[in-house]
Amino acid sequence: MKHSPRMMIDFSAYIADRVRDFTGRKWVFQAVNDWLAWPGGPRFFVLTGEPGSGKTAIASRLVQFSQGTDPPANGLPHLSPHFLSAVHFCSARDRRWINPHIFAESLALQLAARYPAYAEALVEKSGTRQIRIEVEQHVQQVEGGQVAGVVIKQLDVGDIPPEDAFIRVVREPLEALFNQGIVEQVIVLVDGLDEALRYGRDVNIVSLLSEAEFLPAGVRFILTSRPEIAVLRPLRRLNPEEHSLTTNDGLVRSREDVKQHVLHTLVAHPTLTDRLSAGLSPEDFATAVRDKSDGNFLYVRHLLEMLATQAHEITWESLDELPVGLDGIYIEFLERLVAGDEETWETRYAPVLGTLAVAQEALTEEQLAGFIEVKKSGVRTALKALRQLLDVDESLPASQRAYTLYHRSFADFLLDADRAEEYWCEAAEAHQRIASCFLERQAGHWDAWDEYGVRYTATHLAEAAKERDQPEQHELTADLVTLVLDPGFQQTHQRKVGDLAALQDDLKLALRRVAVDHNPAALPLVVRTALALVQFRRAQLRPEPIFELARAGNVEAAEGRLDLFSVEPHWRRAAALTVAWLAAEQDPEEARALRDRIAGEPLSPWPLSLLLDRVDATLNNTPPPLPPPLPDPPPPEVAQSIVARMGGLKAESGLVMEFVSGIRVQPSEMLVEALEILGDAAPAFVAEQDGPLLVAFAVAEPEQGDDYFQQYLNIHAANNYVYYRNLSLWLLLDAVLRHPDQVWTRDTATRLITTALTGAGLAFQEGLPFAVLASQTLAGQASAREALDERRQQALADAAALDDARGRSDSWGAHKRRLAALAEAYSILPDSAHEVSELVGLARSIPRGFAGYLAPAWLTLAETIQVCRHGNWPAIDHALSEARQSAHNIQDTIFCARTTARVNAMQRRWWHWPANGFSIADAAARLSQDASTPEFAALHLVGEAYERREWGPDKLELSPTLRNANTLKMLAEAYQQPLSEFQRLNRDHAWTPDDLLPDGAEVNVPDPEFAPLLAARFAAEALADSTMAGDERVALIQSLVPVAASNPTALDAVLSRLLLAARPADTEALDALADAVHQ
């Protein structure tokens, strides 16, 4: 039984309007039919055409064919009912229609309604706290009995990244569907991809579809778009079948389609035919309109509507006077509307049309009246006169109707100074008008802001600033920064919009805008915005508040916070049970209700049932069940060596293995089974051995044991690769739940789960304060020099006190980074060569720390040496060699591989580039534009020997999966990254997933966290380039700030180098910078 697609957005009225008086186009439908008849043909059928050429009308007609409401002509058997599996229309008039999250949800709902196997896979693969699915069991009578199926009633992908949402609710269920061999083709229609580009964020619907090559081969798309290269370039990588409505043979056929449409209209509307003069036949009239329109159906629609409102006879002479092309129609309409009265245009119509042209969604009369400061009655009069070019639901009461321009081509016309001539509406003025309505007339009165103002004022300010010259550009940018950083605005946004991702997008938008503001006064704004974005993420997207709320008994709020985190189902259940455990004392009723909800879900994998037992003991005020036994506690020196070994430090040779060999330390059978459920049947994590030993030591020596366990936990927190880090943490959770003390277990489990929910490791953010002090010193502030000297002396003393033999090493790389940052700060001060040399020298020589922290710290030191011109290439090469050695000695296989791949890319691509033809400015521009290209990937060397890795009884072996990986498929498994991403980044090589790659082959590795490190690297290169003009250097480094913003440590390096390049001397600016840093 086939189901009609359930669309998340109701497109029915939109479709019905677009096919009004539809005629012709059989040649297009024949092409679609022939494409469908060849299942092995191109994945994409792409129909392009200029604005108004009828793309949406054709797409709408195809939907009607599929719905069976309007059958196709004979000879098109593949356009039968239900040939489309899902449809979506993109229109910038409503941002929901171009929102990639909603696009993924809409496709998933339609596909789930059509294919029961898809619905089951969707529930299985996507049922997490972040993706909410409302499911209804559906039992259907069939011959021989009953069959139960799943009906998806509601789907919400929440705030997870749109590319992840698409993978989880569209791609993975489609893979499951095709693996069952149930279907041969799934056909999806998406109209108006050019409109999707206006979403204005990093990921849009076009970018999602550009990765369609990694969907099952039978998933195919019918796409329409204007012929915009930003749409067509990524699609053409897959060799689509392309057809144009407005070029070559397609234009010839479109012109004939127009003629037939006009003849059809004359038959349907005899009153228009009756007005043709005696010497003008319908054939002549249709031919003339065809030639005037040049195949544009929107032109024809407006022309015929205009002629229908006129009373005079239509003659050959009047035909000659008809406007040419769509622009001509718009000018003709406006000329008739204002009848030469310039004041009427300027006061009545231009403000309304300009506002509608830039509006982010449909506007009511009341909103328009507020934006343009006229009475609502005046707005209604203007809207009535403009009705022919507007889109509105007239079934609503007049005061509730919301208006948009009928077609985007009219907005494009109005906003183009050359095409619109005297009817030009300046985009910057319109954007500024809307923003001013909220900023000036409702300033500070946050309750007076409607949802539109809260959601879109930042967008309007950014667009206005983009179109203005200095100094007005800077003034608008400053207004934007002031707005998004205002606590009142942020609180109002959370209250009225309730979308933290959207609020974060506003902050990122402000940062991108201020990063290209080259007014010298923008520097403090750049720093303030970047730091505010970091602080926002820490405050809003950090896990600690979940458990703070739980301790206070606020279970509902804690659950709401947990909803913000994209974690695997077993971690979400563990976190929710911990919330119930912590809340039991303050609100036992709500805690028990949460416990019961979680207990009603599958409590797998192990050790969730152990955690539930501990929660029940607290709720019931009973002793917990006897946990699985722990091994005998190790001696203190063994416990210390366990921590040191995991951190990549030199441990007492053989000490751990000698101890372990004498006892039995094995994970339980249930834990092994749990690891198989989690997708890794042979985990390489030493945590399964170390965890029970450290917990046993904590039982025997509570104070010292707790300290060691926390150190061990911090080492795992350094691994930014969340999947593998969290598998290790899951092993540790099993060990923690074996501790007999209820309070220790609860508090330690909370710390551990907090780590699992945290997205990244420790951050270093001391470089920027040093740079501020150096800048203040240059400006003559003696107290700043004293403060900087004091910090230098303290840093030197702290570093000198490190002693490998006594276990005091640079564990987290902070000492090395601190000395490097101070050296860079001193490098701009006169007569400070000695201080720079001392700092760099000590940074190179201090004892090692944990390898996972030291590898990036050595990369930073190499950059510092370049910036300070200290030691030149030999010293730089030494630092890079040390970075490689540290990367090789990271004990976790995946963490080791990925860090090594970063070092490889840095060494091979971004330190040793060609002497001629390379431009750091061009590279920085490309990085700022798109950091996801192959150029900016990490780099794996097939057959990598990891020759700097230290071997011994206390060292872990690297996984054979990594060492033997010599195909893209094997590398995807080794790095635990999608095969599709390996294919995308290595597309130029044309490697198949199973092609054997020779030793030494350079393979681009997916690593979304690598771009911020490159931003810091490029900033150092620019700072050290003596041939670059000062303002050019500042502009380049400033443009890198948004790229670095996702990594606080890299951001600190870029911001400090920005200050060292700018060397601001203005006291007010320096004070503002100091305030921003201290905040």
Spatial distance between the Cα atoms of 21 and 13, rounded to a whole number of angstroms = 15
> Which pLDDT value is given to residue 1056?
98
CA end-to-end distance (rounded Å), the chain: 62
Long-range contacts of 341-350 (CB under 8 A, 24+ apart): 342/422, 345/422, 345/423, 348/378, 348/381, 348/382, 349/382, 349/385, 349/386, 350/423, 350/425
> Which pLDDT value is given to residue 722?
58
Question: 773 Cβ partners below 8 Å, 6+ apart?
Answer: 784, 785, 787, 788, 791, 825
> In 3-state terms, the chain is what percent helix, strand and coil (to 5)?
60, 5, 30
Spatial distance between the Cα atoms of 359 and 353, rounded to a whole number of angstroms = 10
String of DSSP letters for 883-935 = HHHHHHT-SSHHHHHHHHHHHHHHHHHTTS--SSS--HHHHHHHHHH-TTSGG
Long-range contacts of 829-837 (CB under 8 A, 24+ apart): 829/774, 829/777, 829/778, 829/785, 835/792, 836/868, 836/870, 837/870
Spatial distance between the Cα atoms of 100 and 402, rounded to a whole number of angstroms = 23
Question: 51 Cβ partners below 8 Å, 6+ apart?
Answer: 226, 298, 326, 407, 408, 409, 412
As given in the structure block, the two tokens for residue 872 are 């030149």
Spatial distance between the Cα atoms of 177 and 106, rounded to a whole number of angstroms = 17
Spatial distance between the Cα atoms of 47 and 435, rounded to a whole number of angstroms = 37
Query: What is the amino acid identity at position 1005?
Result: V
Tell me whether strands 186-191 and 86-89 are parallel, antiparallel or unpaired.
parallel
Residue 405: enclosing H or E segment and its boundaries? strand 402-405
Fold of 12-246: Rossmann fold (3.40.50)
> Which pLDDT value is given to residue 179?
87
| Beta carbons of 433 and 400 less than 8 angstroms apart | no
CA angle 118, 122, 127 (to 5 degrees): 165
Question: 524 Cβ partners below 8 Å, 6+ apart?
Answer: 1069, 1072, 1073, 1076
Spatial distance between the Cα atoms of 680 and 698, rounded to a whole number of angstroms = 29
Locate the DSSP E strands across 15-66: 44-48
CA angle 763, 895, 864 (to 5 degrees): 45
Q: What's the whole-model pTM score?
A: 0.78
CB atoms closer than 10 angstroms to residue 197: 20
> Which pLDDT value is given to residue 144?
44
Q: Is the omega angle on the peptide bond into residue 588 within 30 degrees of 0, that is, cis?
A: no
The domain spans of the chain are 12-246, 250-322, 544-620, 636-739
Name the nearest CA neighbour of 865 among 880, 849, 884, 848: 880
Residue 88, classed as helix, strand or coil, is strand
Buried b (16+ CB within 10 A) or exposed e, 698-716: bbbbeeebbebbebbbbbb
| Beta carbons of 313 and 405 less than 8 angstroms apart | no
| Beta carbons of 612 and 599 less than 8 angstroms apart | yes
| Beta carbons of 717 and 758 less than 8 angstroms apart | yes
103-154 pLDDT, tens digit per residue, is 999 999 999 989 988 888 887 765 554 566 666 655 454 344 434 456 766 7
The residue behind tokens 């057809």 is: 243
| Beta carbons of 218 and 185 less than 8 angstroms apart | yes
Spatial distance between the Cα atoms of 567 and 562, rounded to a whole number of angstroms = 9
Q: Which residues of the chain have pLDDT under 70?
A: 1-8, 125-150, 152-153, 158-159, 201-202, 564, 566, 600-605, 646-686, 718-724, 759-761, 804-811, 870-871, 914-917, 953-955
Q: SS3 string of 132-199?
A: EEEEEEEEEEECCEEEEEEEEEEEECCCCCHHHHHHHHHHHHHHHHHHCCCCCCEEEEEECHHHHHHH
> Which pLDDT value is given to residue 866?
95
The residue behind tokens 């010259």 is: 469
